């Protein structure tokens, strides 16, 4: 991280939510590939790993007992039951990352988003809702991902109506039709958010320097 005037006091908490299959994980990976100032919040879940998923990279795969212990010890920034499994975002890595000026990217459902916004870190939140171009396309993406059973897919499709109903609670809404164009839109949103005055406390010192230069002319 550079030490110039654009370094933020605290990083942003960037929340991506969408109905399952709309493309959050794909987009999160793409953001990560160009944004060196961004780290993922790795959630803990009681869901079983999908083929290819790695513990500590995609999720922390833990038992229900461990999950409930972490919740009662206040170790989770937010937590929720989604599709019959428990998911939560561990608090400690988020605090340490934003204190160092890193942005933290969350892939959480609407319940998680509401809890993070209502937490003491709410003022640092940038929330983005991803919509699929159509429900037919959403189903086809869930199927083409080829990682869930037919039963799991129909359960997720049934829940997508509820998830989509929360779109007005987000700062930005983006339809993920063409993935490259969506990625560009996310880049624009994140870049603009970083340039907010409230995100650039170092700018005061920078402008003072400009004024000093005037004095030396």
- Give 8 or 46: the residue with its C-beta nearer to ligand ADP: 46
Residue numbers 96-155 binding ligand ADP by CB under 6 A: 141, 144-145
Distances from the Cα of 143 to the Cα of 59, 118, 159, 177, angstroms: 22, 35, 16, 17
Of ligand ADP, ligand 5GP, none, which one does residue 61 interact with (CB within 5 to 8 Å by kind)? Answer: none
Sheet holding 13-17, edge to edge: 38-40, 103-107, 13-17, 125-131, 172-175
Q: Does 89 bind ligand 5GP (CB under 6 A)?
A: yes
State the binding partner of 179 from ligand 5GP, ligand ADP, none, CB within 5 to 8 A by kind: ligand ADP
Of 34-42, 64-72, 175-183, 192-200, the segment contacting ligand ADP by CB under 6 A is 175-183
Pick what 43 binds: ligand 5GP, ligand ADP, none; C-beta below 5 to 8 Å, kind-dependent.
ligand 5GP
- Indicate the Cα dihedral angle 106, 112, 114, 119, nearest 10°: -80
Residues that bind ligand 5GP (CB under 6 A): 20, 43, 47, 78, 80, 82-83, 87-89, 107-109, 111-112
Residues that bind ligand ADP (CB under 6 A): 18, 20-26, 141, 144-145, 176, 178-179
């Amino acid at each position: 991280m550079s030490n110039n005037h654009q370094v933020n006091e605290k990083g942003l908490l960037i929340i991506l939510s969408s109905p399952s299959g709309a493309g959050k994980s794909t987009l999160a990976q793409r953001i990560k590939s160009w944004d060196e100032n961004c780290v993922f919040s790795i959630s803990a879940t009681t869901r079983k790993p999908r083929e290819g998923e790695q513990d500590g990279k995609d999720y922390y795969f833990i038992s229900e007992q461990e999950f409930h212990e972490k919740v009662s010890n206040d170790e989770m920034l937010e937590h929720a039951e989604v599709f019959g499994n428990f998911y939560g975002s561990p608090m400690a890595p988020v605090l340490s990352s934003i204190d160092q000026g890193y942005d933290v990217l969350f892939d959480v459902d609407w319940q998680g988003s509401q809890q993070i916004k209502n937490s003491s870190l709410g003022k640092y939140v940038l929330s983005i809702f991803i919509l699929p171009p159509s429900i037919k396309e959403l189903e086809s993406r869930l199927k083409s991902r080829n990682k869930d059973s037919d039963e799991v897919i129909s359960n997720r499709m049934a829940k997508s109506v509820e998830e989509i109903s929360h779109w007005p609670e987000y700062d930005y809404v983006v339809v993920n039709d063409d993935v490259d164009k969506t990625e560009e839109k996310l880049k624009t949103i994140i870049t603009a958010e970083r340039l907010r005055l409230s995100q650039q406390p170092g700018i005061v010192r920078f402008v003072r320097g400009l004024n000093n230069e005037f004095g030396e002319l």
